[in-house]
Structure 1
Amino acid sequence: MTAATAGRIGPNAITRVAEVLPALLGEAGTRALFDAAGLGGHLRQPPEGMVDEAEVAQLHRVLRQQLGPAVAGQVARSAGMRTANYLLARRIPRPVQWLLKCLPAVLAARLLLQAISRHAWTFAGSGRFQARAGRPCVLTIHDNPLCRGVASNRPACDFYCATFERLFQVLVHPAVQVVETHCEARGDPVCRFELRW
């Protein structure tokens, strides 16, 4: 992570939430929620570049406050799946996808984790991301910006879980499941994700 990218996250963590909410809250309810998060401008003109991680954290905090943890988790999961679909359609080159799908799952997972680690600054912001290949693959985010100031009795990183799960199901093995075993929002020292198939 460089100084220029510290504390910034890709816009999908905002724009995909904006795509999911109208089916649940309607256009007016979506506007009200974004306004409550202080992000009404992002709804009117979706961000195209990196955004301040504090804005993303605030949106996900307001989701939990206004919708409750279960529904907010469903919204975040849907947004995470849409984020993965966006990455598959526009960011991960087709030849790379083809290669990963042809490889044995363990090797494909190792290569995909290397690529994710190189681009972790786009989703972990100022947090520190680490990945370990194996069975299971283990991903961790230390000082996760989406968990700062959040207290929850359940893991709160549904957005990340869904994004990782969808990418690995498409590119590594269709049976991949991601479980967040530790979460800073729950008081754990790190957010930890296990990927199993």
Structure 2
Amino acid sequence: MTAHAHTPGTIGPNSITRMAQALTHQQGEAVTARIFEAAGLMHYLSEPPTQMVDEKGVTALHRVVRETLTPEEARSVSLEAGRLTAEYLLANRIPKPVQTLLRLLPAGPASRILLTAISRNAWTFTGSGRFQVNRDRSLELSITGGPICKEIQAHEPVCDYYAATFEHLFRSLVHKNTTVRETACGATGASSCLFAVSWDV
């Protein structure tokens, strides 16, 4: 994976552009415009960002999505946006020879290589938050202080965008049966958002 220079408190533009794409696809242009206007991001609909963006805008966007749509609709939009982000990374950020190598390797070694690359570039999707990999018993990813759920209070995990991005990358590069499930979330009061990663071998 390659990335731009790191500026603290910023995040990659996919967290906005792919949400706009998924929202427009599922909810239409009028609802998308209303959500982006409420989040203070209306300018990004006419001029989508191509560089790192302030993570506060990403936090506001996900909050307004949750406030405007039903939980089921918000989840569906976030899942699509996550898959679109993974597709972008596969098309533009992960070198094709690396992808070929990962697909040839057994799932264990492939996952370690992929997670090393993800960890190295974690600031592009966690902003000022922290990303960690835990392999004590099973594979678990954690994001502490991430921007997506920072202003959301919910009874169930809401970081579907991250879960879908991780899952699509793993299914494409590590194992086709990978599932990624968020088991804890800052929106429910947890100290970190936790994602359990598993696959059938």
Bucket of the pairwise TM-score, normalised by the shorter protein: over 0.9
Equivalent residues in 2 for 1:5-84, closer than 5 Å: 5-84=7-86
Shift of 1:5: 2.1
Which residue in the other structure is 2:152 paired with?
150
- With structure 1 as the length reference, what TM-score do the two structures score? 0.95
Structure 1 unaligned blocks of 5 or more = none
Q: Which moved more, 1:10-19 or 1:145-154?
A: 145-154
State the one-letter code of the partner of 1:49: Q
Q: Secondary structure at the match of 2:26?
A: helix
Which residue in the other structure is 2:176 paired with?
174
Structure with more helix by fraction = 1
Structure 2 unaligned blocks of 5 or more = none
Shift of 1:30: 1.4
- CA RMSD of the aligned region, Å? 1.4
1-structure distance, mates of 2:40, 2:74: 18
Identity of aligned residues (%): 52
CA contact (8 A) 2:129 2:143 kept: yes
CA contact (8 A) 2:6 2:123 kept: no
Q: Are the structure 2 counterparts of residues 135 and 94 from structure 1 closer, same or farther at C-alpha, using a change threshold of 3 Å? A: farther
Which residue in the other structure is 2:162 paired with?
160
State the one-letter code of the partner of 2:166: F
2-structure distance, mates of 1:74, 1:162: 10
State the one-letter code of the partner of 1:152: A
Which residue in the other structure is 2:97 paired with?
95
Are residues 1:126 and 2:148 paired? no
2-structure distance, mates of 1:121, 1:25: 30
Q: Secondary structure at the match of 1:87?
A: helix
CA contact (8 A) 2:163 2:182 kept: yes
- With structure 2 as the length reference, what TM-score do the two structures score? 0.93
CA contact (8 A) 1:20 1:75 kept: yes
Q: Which moved more, 1:103-112 or 1:143-152?
A: 143-152
2-structure distance, mates of 1:47, 1:90: 16
Q: Are the structure 2 counterparts of residues 68 and 122 from structure 1 closer, same or farther at C-alpha, using a change threshold of 3 Å? A: same
Spell out structure 1 runs of 4+ moving beyond 6 A: none
